[in-house]
Structures are given as C-alpha cells and as structure tokens.
Amino acid sequence: MASQQGVPTSPLRVLEEALGMGLTAAEETADAVAAEGAYYLEQVTITEASEDDYEYEEIADDNFSIPEGEEDLAKAIQIVQEQATDTQILEEKTVLPSKNLAPEVIEDFLCNFLIKMGMTRTLDCFQSEWYELIQKGVTELRDFGNVPDVYTQNMLLESEIKNLKKDLKHYKQAADKAREDLLKTQKERDFHRMHHKRIVQEKNKLINDLKGLKLHYASYEPTIRVLHEKHHTLLKQKMLTSLQRDKAVEQISRHSATARHMEPQQSYHSPEIRVVPGCEKENTPEGPAQKGLHEAKEQNKCKTKIKNNTKDSEFPTDMKSNPNLYLCKENNCPAKLDYKLNSIFRLHELPVSCIVVHPHKDILVSCGEDHLWKVVGLPKGNVLLTGFGHTDWLSNCCFHPSGNKLATSSGDTTVKLWDLSKGSCILTFEGHYHAVWSCTWHSSGDFVASSSLDTTSKIWDVNSERCRCTLYGHKDSVNSIEFFPCSNTLLTSSADKSLSVWDARTGKCEQSLYGHMHSINDATFTPRGHIIASCDSCGVTKLWDFRKLLPIVSIDVGPSPGNEVNFDSSGRVLAQASGNGVIHLLDLKSGQIHKLVGHENEAHTVVFSHDGESLFSGGSDGTVRMWS
C-alpha cells in the first residue's frame, strides 16, 4: 500500500544517514512530490555493513594532550568542549561531494504522473492490480527497469520554463513601465530645456534694452540742462518785461490823470499850452513795450466804442434743414476704401495738429505746433497764405460757413478769428485759463464754440465780441467740441470718459453718454447727423445712435490711441488717425476695416475731401499726406 509522507524525515532516511549512505535520485524526486502532498511507493535497499571493512578515523593525540603543569580536570573538560565546538563549526562549513542521481522507477513515475493529472480512480485501479501481480509473483520489478532520465529532465525543464515565463512577464511589465517613465522624463527634459532657452533669450533682450535705455537716458541729461538754463533765462526776461509793463502802466495812468486835470482849465482864449512837470516824460523816446501798450490801449478804446454800439446775436429759431440729408440718400455708390499715397506736403517744422478743407474751394488749412497756420492749394500743395499771431502751438481750426473766415484755437488760451482775404486777425477771444483744444462755428456764422483744458467750454458771440455762455459739467479736460449740423446743439468729448450733448441757447447739458473706458480724444457727427463717432486713448472707436442716444457698435484697433475721427461726405466711411501712424478706414455698411500705412510716426489728424476722392492726413513729422 502507498504511504503518505508529510515531512521528509522518514525512518528510512534516518537509517540511511546512520549507515552513511546517500539517497538516490528516486528518493529525492519522491520527497519533492511528497512535499506537495502526493502518494507514491518507495523501494529502499538496506545493506549490512561489515565490521571488517569499516575504516575508523584516527584522532591525533595532540588534540587531547594536556599541557604539563596544568593537569586539572575542569580545564581539561573545557578544552575538550572548545575543540568539539570548533569541529562542529568546521563540519557545517564543509561542502559535501555531489551524489550520483539514480533514475526514477517506472511504477513510481506512473503513479506520480497520475497524481499530477488528478486521475485518482485510475491510480487506485493501477495500484490494486499492480500489487496483486507482485504478490502472485507474476511480475518482477527488475524486468521493467527504470524511467529514462529524459522524461524526468523534461518535467523539471517544463516547470522551470513556467517559472521563467512568469518572471519574463513581470520583467516585460517593468520594462514597459520604465520605458513610459523614460519617455515622460525626456519630454519634461525637452520642455524645461526649451523654457530655459526662451528665458535666456528674453534675459538677453532685456539686458540689451536696458543698455539702450541707459544710453538714451544719458543723452537726455545735457538736453535737460540746456532747457533748464533756457527756462531760467526766459523767466528773467519775463520778469524784466513785467517790470517794464508795470512802469508803463503807471506812466499811462499818471498821464491820463494829468490830462483829466488839465481839461477843465483849458479855455477858448488860451492858445498857449503849458508843460506840466509830470508830462516831461512824454517827450522822451518810448521803448517797444510802451509803444505796444499805447497801441493796445487805443485798440481797446475803439473796441469799447464798437461794443457799446453792437448788440448780442440771437440764436436762430427756424433752422434750415440739413442739405447733406438728401445728398446722402441719393448717394448709393459703393464706398471707396482703396486709397493710395499720392503726395507728401512738408508744411511745418513741428507736428501737424489739424487739417480742414475749404467748403467751396480746392484749398485746405493746416495748423501746426510751430504757432503757424497755412492755406495750401490743391492738388499741388503750394502755400498760398501763412498766418502769424498765436504765441503757442495751434490745436484746431474751423472754416466759417461762407469760407471767408477762419477760427483757430491755441495753447496760448485764446481763440482767434482771421479774415482770409487779408490774412489778418480780426478778433481774439480771451477767457479760458488753460490751453484751448478745439473750436467750431455755428451754421449761422454768428457764434464760435471752444473747449479747453480747464474742463469748460465757451460760446462766443462774434458780433458783440464777448462770451455768451460757459458750459460747466465735465470733470476733466474737454478735448473736442462740435455743433450739430444746422442746429443749436453742441457735442463735447472729455478726458473724463464721457460725451455730453448741450443746448447752446441755455448752456445746459441735455444728455451724457458713457461707455468708453479711457479718455475720449475726439467725437464727430455724420453729415446726416444721425450717428456719432468717438475715439479714445486706447484705440477704441464707438458709434452711437444720436436719435436714441444709445451705443451701436465698438471697434478696437488699439492699443495705439485714436487721435481723430472723421466721416466722408456720404457718411458710409469713417477714418481714424492712430498713434502708430496708421489710418484706419471703416465701412459702416459691410464692417470692413482697411489700413493706410505711410506715416513714419504718429498720425494726428485726418479729413476727407468733399467729393470723397481724396483723403488728407497730418502727422508728427510736420507733413500732410494726400491719399487718392
């Protein structure tokens, strides 16, 4: 019968170890199978050892010798125990020679195979029939022999292959994970490398920019020093001029008092004229400042007499209909956007601030920061007339509806009216405390409106030569002002980001429009007057419905500031002069935006010709460019 072995320490193994014999290969295989809980038969051959053939190991006498003079039993026992311990340690480290593996018996191989395959019933039948044959003596074990080694090796190799396949699978998974980690690490490395290169490039660019700024800043210092010196010199001259003016005013007041005192004493029979000691200075030569004061006094006397004889103008109540209203309805031709640079007129030494086209003739007027305005003939660009009189830069100008007069505004806080037939100044309005940014004519030609840096706007009466009304309401500089076509309504734009609509007759604000996020530089009406266009300091242009006073659309062409906007005669195309030198053209019907590039620096002003075939723009380089 088969015996189950749970542990490898069987009685046969103990007996074999006692006799000094090694286990066979069949026994080792049986132990491996028994460890898995298998049943098998084992044949063990026990041989009796002869005492004559046994070789005893000789023990050296030196190991057990006791030194002389120390024949003590306790010490001798201790020495023997230490030697025994050393011998045991040496035996544990000794490598036993390899044993010859014996082939496995055939019946054991068959039993192990059936156990491995789980064929228990076949195993029981095989064992019962096999042992019956052995007991009857029909079968001898020696006749069959042993199982060839190749089968045993194949089984061992198969189990080893399975284990290796499992290990290979784990290694492949680990390799795939390592490959993914490697790719991820390489991508991160490339990203950080590119980021580092970009940062290095930006750093080098900033270093170069910083060097350039330092050089630029160093070049400013001598210029600032020279300007300071000039400023101090001008201050001294101003003080001397003010002293001379005060002296001259005192002399004039003294002379006038003397003259009034002498008038009652004069009689019809006294032809002689007595010289008063205080009048001796009249015979002395006068300086240019004193002569100018005398002339100004005489002009003021004349103006005072004229003012006393003139009355204030009245705002018209029955306004004519806007003539552009019907013209724009009849004009159905497509908008023109394909302008090209035709001519460049170099008119001013400093930037051009404003351009206006004559309402009836082929001429235009340009104003510059060189204190001059010039009348230019078209299309050749020849200068017909140059206006002198302002003491500071000119900001804006506007033609009288008849075209024979011109109004100009300046940084010297004045508004001047000019007779274009003579080229002389006929009237000066003074009343603003800071620079005047803009001016506009009323359609009747009797009023001029101006806007200023002092946050106010004023309406001037041309006939009575005085300020009729001051418009208060804006909290910052009023940058532009314009009359609604053929009406008494005014439109102003301000640096407080708002537009205001005013009644010129009462001087009250009727409506304010909000929507811009930055300072508004300019605002204008269409020729029909139903749409308002405005632009701010960040390049945003807005269109407003004037009838509903609501925004229509917002166009952002920034970040460069929009300096001025103007419509063409049809009202379909809006032009904007930008701070980057580009002229933007917007078709209101299609929404298409076209750019005109030609200015080298900032573009300050833009205006269309009356037929819409030409476009004029002025820039900071002092030139006027003609596009057609």
61-99 tens-digit pLDDT? 444 454 554 456 777 788 888 888 887 776 665 444 444
Among residues 545, 599, 589, which one has the least CA distance to residue 568?
A: 589
Tell me the per-residue pLDDT of 452-477, one tens digit each, with 9 for 90 and over. 999 999 999 999 889 999 999 999 99
The predicted pLDDT at position 567 comes to 93
Confidence of residue 522 (pLDDT cuts 50, 70, 90): very high
The predicted pLDDT at position 107 comes to 77
Asked which of 101-110, 193-202, 232-241, 478-487 is least confident by mean pLDDT, the reply is: 101-110
Residue that is last in its domain, among 185, 208, 238: 238
Does any domain span residue 39? Answer: no
Question: Does 430 score more than 90 pLDDT?
Answer: yes
Q: How many domains does the chain have?
A: 2
Task: Give the span between the Cα atoms of 363 and 336, in whole angstroms.
Answer: 22
Does any domain span residue 548? Answer: yes
Residue with tokens 């160093």: 218
The predicted pLDDT at position 289 comes to 52
Does any domain span residue 350? Answer: yes
Task: Give the span between the Cα atoms of 484 and 524, in whole angstroms.
Answer: 9
| 2/188: higher pLDDT | 188
Residue with tokens 């490395």: 189
User: Is the distance from CB of 343 to CB of 617 less than 8 angstroms?
Assistant: no
The predicted pLDDT at position 76 comes to 75
| 303/316: higher pLDDT | 316
Instruction: Tell me the average pLDDT of the chain.
Output: 79
| 246/358: higher pLDDT | 358
Residue with tokens 């195309």: 573
User: Is the distance from CB of 606 to CB of 577 less than 8 angstroms?
Assistant: yes
Residue that is last in its domain, among 176, 208, 238: 238
Claim to verify: residue 421 and residue 569 sit in the same structural domain: yes
The predicted pLDDT at position 34 comes to 45
Angle at 282 between CA 281 and CA 285, to 5 degrees: 85
Helices then strands, each counted (H, E), the chain = 9, 30
Give me the CATH number covering residue 414.
2.130.10.10
Confidence of residue 222 (pLDDT cuts 50, 70, 90): confident
Task: Give the span between the Cα atoms of 364 and 379, in whole angstroms.
Answer: 10
Task: Give the span between the Cα atoms of 11 and 3, in whole angstroms.
Answer: 13
Q: Which whole number is the average pLDDT over 603-615?
A: 91
Tokens of 57: 């190991």
Does any domain span residue 37? Answer: no
Confidence of residue 548 (pLDDT cuts 50, 70, 90): confident
| 263/440: higher pLDDT | 440
Task: Give the span between the Cα atoms of 46 and 66, in whole angstroms.
Answer: 43
Domain that holds residue 588: 341-627
Strands of the sheet containing 562-567, edge to edge, are: 562-567, 573-578, 582-587, 593-597
User: Is the distance from CB of 199 to CB of 206 less than 8 angstroms?
Assistant: no
Residue that is last in its domain, among 238, 260, 284: 238
The predicted pLDDT at position 313 comes to 80
Does any domain span residue 430? Answer: yes
- The percent of residues above 90 in pLDDT, for the chain, comes to 43
| Overall pTM > 0.75 | no
Among residues 405, 463, 409, 447, which one has the least CA distance to residue 431?
A: 409
Q: Which whole number is the average pLDDT over 387-411?
A: 93
**Torsion of the alpha carbons at 473, 474, 480 and 482, rounded to the nearest 10:** -20
- The percent of residues above 70 in pLDDT, for the chain, comes to 74
Which residues make Cβ contacts (< 8 Å) with residue 565, sequence separation at least 6? 522, 523, 524, 533, 534, 535, 541, 574, 575, 576, 577, 606
Does any domain span residue 96? Answer: no
Q: In Å, what is the CA distance from 217 to each residue of 203, 211, 222, 224?
A: 21, 10, 10, 11
